[in-house]
Every structure is written in structure tokens, then in C-alpha cells.
Amino acid sequence: MKKFSVLAASLLIVACSPASEPETSTNPQMEVDPYSFNENYREYLATLSSDKFEGRAPASKGEELTAAFVEKKFSNWGLTPYDAEAGSYRQQVPLVKMTPYSVSEMSFSDGDLAAFSYKQDMMAWSPRVQEDVSLDASEMVFAGYGIVAPEFGWDDYQGLDVEGKTVVVLVNDPGYDSGDEEVFNGRAMTYYGRWTYKFEEAARQGAAGIIVIHETGPAGYGWGVIAGGSTVRFDLARDNKNMDRTQIEGWITQEAADKLFARVGSSYEDMREQAQQPDFAPVALNTAMSITVQSDFEYLNSPNLIGYIEGSKNPEEHVIYMAHWDHLGINPITSDDQIYNGAQDNASGTAGVLALAEFYASQPQPERSVVFVLVTAEERGLLGSNWYANNPMLPLSKAVAGINMDVLNVYGPMQDMVVVGHGNSELEEYLAKYVEQQDRYVAPEPTPEAGSFYRSDHFNLAKRGVPMLYAKGGNDHVELGVEYGKGKRAEYVQIAYHKPADEYDPEWDLRGVQQDLWLYYWIGNELANSESWPNWYEGNEFRAIRDATAEERQ
């Protein structure tokens, strides 16, 4: 039996009625208990993050337990399976595990330049599914930020032939370094600032290799994060074995970059300043680089878990709720706590999608479809969402919008609702309306330069034009204030994030999650019972992609 709050249950018809326009909508806070959306949420959170589920790693016992748990719930609630004909909620995602077992030094044709040491001066790998990959005397060129962004009038590759060459580029984008709000998005990172974009662009340009220069500030993390983590990588198993990617990808330290730039009588600081100029021209570094990477490979399958409620009027038009179900699994090497339970990251978001699916299933059928997507391998590089974005259940041109849930608020009710990637899309106007009706306020993320918007699953749908909202309760605790909230977030990052300490605590105050679940529901329900098509704001890097499919929505 569903355990929705008595107050909410008595008002289901009111809550699920097709939403009015913003200026005439009623106040939801007057109709429901804001701290009780679905009382089963705690049970889902505790179960998914229990030791029994072994940290929910892809292709593990924890995966099978997670999938079985989700499938049973989806089935009990009457959600239509992803593969309705087969009765399966699983969309299998083909993965390849890539383990480099030998990485040589990075040596140079210039005898005066000493080789860079693996992990100390540089990190390198090959994205290609190829046992032995070598670059032999690949000419090096500094290509600024490695960005081609027509909407910002920026092209670091203009007039540059990089065939067979290795490009060296800066991290982040020109807006961060200039601090000028008129340059890109100022200090807030754009898609072009992400190292993943830079790798992709170098491959499109035909480069043989790409090296990003690390700097803690614009990268958002220290060198230890790059050099100290596992060298094992995962990717989607593609037919072309990633042969369209560069042969080598990697990073070098700022100190190593200084040594490279000294070859042309310059320095890291000078080159960085030059690269900020709109008329910047690439600089040949007068040396060639050689490196060899040897890797082993293992092919795996892991499922996205998808159920949906078909729309009564426009079934191809759909609203998406998304979260990643996976975490890091078990570390058998340590003799201490071996299980990375991933309670906040991201059993909290998975439980949120389940709570929403259960609630929607109790409501009258929406006019548009509502799709619940729990993706795999987020911790391996947003791979499950990438696969879904390339193989969607319904056309993404008909996706009205999406809401992503990753690391939800377990510290109590908050006054603020923080939007990651604030200022991106019209979905923020829907959020602002309902946040105000909860007597709360919308706040931008405190560190937009870290590029968090590009580090969770919604990004793969955003890249294909789908307006996505990534928002959650912030730091301004209703009763205990901002310092309390900041302290809890900092404690989580320091002690628990991606560590075994990320465990479920029965003392967590889940009133904040319940607040936010109402918001996610109200926004999605309004969109699912309207003819609205929210868009990215003018000037956003994904606006043109969305606009290109406008005719398909008419």
C-alpha cells in the first residue's frame, strides 16, 4: 500500500490537474504537506545504499540486485517497460573496460628537454581500443584553449593543420581567465571549457594527440585527482573501436608546460595571456613528442533501467526524469571498509526517481508521456546517459524537458534551491514559480567555474538540445542557517564523497528531499499536461541544436 501523506493523498486530483499559466497558478503549498511527498523515499534510499547492494558497480552482483529492485517496483506500479514487447525495463549498454598496464615516459626530439615522468609530470592514455598505441615524433603545437565556438566568435584552430600533430591546450575557457562577463560566460565554465570537449574537438580537427595543461583553479581540482586515481577507464563499446579519436589523450602539469614553452622563449603565464586574445595564433613548440601506451580490454554489458507512463494525447512528446543508479562498488584491496555504498551519490537520486514514478502512477494519465530513466556507468564517464542519448526510447526532438537528480539534499529543509548551470534555460522560470510558492528562493551554484553542469548525466541530453534542469536544495537551512548547510556540504566532500563513508544515516533529515520532490513533480506535471516547449536561453551553446529540430515539434 502506498504511504503518501494523508494531506497529499486527499488532494491528488488538485495536485495533478493540468497546470495553469504561471500568473494564474494556485499555491501548491496551501494544498499539500511540503515535507511529505512520498514517505517510501527513505526505504528506497536505505535499501539501495545497504551493504547488501555492494556499492552498485556495473556488471556486478550489486548491479543485479539494483536492477531487480527497480524492475519490481516499476512493474508493481504498472509502468510500461522500455521494451514493451519483451516486457523488459532494461536497455543494455555495451561497455569496454580499458586497463593500461604500461605507459612510457613522454620523450621529446629536443635533446635539451628531459622526458616527462608518468604521474609526476604527465598523465596519458589512449582512448582507442587498441592494445599498443604509439606516437613517434609527433610535432607539438600550442592551440590556446582548443576551442571552436562560433556563437562566441572563437576559433583556436583557424588556419591550423594538426594532422599527425599533438596539440597542447589550456584548461577551462577564455571567460574564466579574463573574468570578463562579456567573454564566453565570464567565470562560469561553458561546455567548451570541459576537457572532454577539448579531446573531442582535437579528434574532429584530425590531431594525433592532445595534452591539456593542468592548473588547479580553472580545472576545479588538484593534480592529485588526475594522477592519484585509478588508471582503469571505461567507454562505450563502439564498432569502430574509437579509431576516430586521437591516439593519445592526457594532461601535463603547469611546471611541465613551462618547460615546453621555454623552447620558444616563453612561459605558461605568457602563453596563457596570449591565448586570451581573440586574434590569438597557434604557436609551434619546436619539438616533437613520443609516447607508448599498452592496454588490456574487457567487454561488459550493464543496463539502463527505463519505465514510462504513456501520454493520453501526445505520447511521443515526453518529460524525462533521470538519475544514475551506479556507484563505485567494492575495493577488495583495503582491509578496512571495502564497500563504496554511494548513499548520497547516487542512491539519493535513484530513490528520488522511484518516489516520483510511484507518485505519478497514482495520478490520472498525463497528456504527454513521462519517462523515468535510471542510467548506468555515470561514475565511469556518463556512459549510460550517453548511450541513452544516442539510442533514446522516444525521439529527443520530442523531449519537452528533463530533470536530473544527483546527490540530493539529506540535511533538512532549505530556503534556497540551487541551480547548477544557472541562467541556461527557461526551465528555471518554472522552477522559480514553484520555489516562490514554497516561500523559498532560487540561487545559482556557488562555484560555476568548476563546470559541474557538464559533469552529470543531464549533460548528454543537453548536448542533443533537450532543455535539462539540474537543481537541488542548497545550504540555507530553514532552522539552522547558512553556516550549518555549508558545513554539512564541506564535511561530505572531505569525508564521504567517493569514499566508503558515503553511507546511509537513519538520522538524516529528509524533509529537504521531500520539499524538492514536490518541485520536481510540479514542474514535470505542468509540462506533461501542457503544449509548452521550453528552450535554452538565447546565447546558450545548446540553443542552436534545439532550434534545428523545431519543425519536428509542430
Nearest to 58 by CA among 353, 322, 328: 328
The mean pLDDT of the chain is: 92
Q: Does the pLDDT at position 245 exceed 70?
A: yes
- Would you state the cell numbers that stand for residue 143, as one nine-digit string? 592551440
For 276-317, how does the pLDDT look when each residue is reduced to its tens digit (9 = 90+)?
998 899 999 999 999 999 999 999 999 999 999 999 999 999
Q: Does the pLDDT at position 12 exceed 70?
A: no
Cβ partners under 8 Å of residue 6, min gap 6: none
CB 502 within 8 A of CB 25: no
Q: Report the C-alpha gap between 167 and 147 in whole angstroms.
A: 12
Cβ partners under 8 Å of residue 135, min gap 6: 166, 208, 209, 247, 248, 289, 290, 291, 292
Q: Does the pLDDT at position 444 exceed 60?
A: yes
Cβ partners under 8 Å of residue 516, min gap 6: 352, 408, 409, 417, 471, 472, 473
- Would you state the cell numbers that stand for residue 409, as one nine-digit string? 539534499
pLDDT on residue 104? 97
For 470-514, how does the pLDDT look when each residue is reduced to its tens digit (9 = 90+)?
999 999 999 999 999 999 999 998 899 989 999 999 999 999 999
Nearest to 529 by CA among 326, 294, 368, 310: 368
Residue 387, classed as helix, strand or coil, is: helix
Q: Does the pLDDT at position 5 exceed 60?
A: no
Q: Is 421 left (phi over 0), alpha (psi -120 to 50) or beta?
A: left
Other CB atoms within 10 A of residue 72 CB: 11
For 139-171, how does the pLDDT look when each residue is reduced to its tens digit (9 = 90+)?
999 999 999 999 899 999 999 999 999 999 999
Most confident of 27-36, 78-87, 334-343: 78-87
Nearest to 303 by CA among 49, 68, 19, 52: 68
pLDDT on residue 229? 73
Q: Report the C-alpha gap between 50 and 342 in whole angstroms.
A: 9
For 53-107, how does the pLDDT look when each residue is reduced to its tens digit (9 = 90+)?
999 999 999 999 999 999 999 999 999 999 999 999 999 999 999 999 999 999 9
- 99 beta partners: 296
Q: Is 228 left (phi over 0), alpha (psi -120 to 50) or beta?
A: alpha
Q: Provide, rounded to the nearest whole percent, the portion of the chain with pLDDT above 70.
A: 94
What's the pLDDT band for 28 if we cut at 50, 70, 90?
A: low
Q: Report the C-alpha gap between 462 and 194 in whole angstroms.
A: 14
pLDDT on residue 554? 82
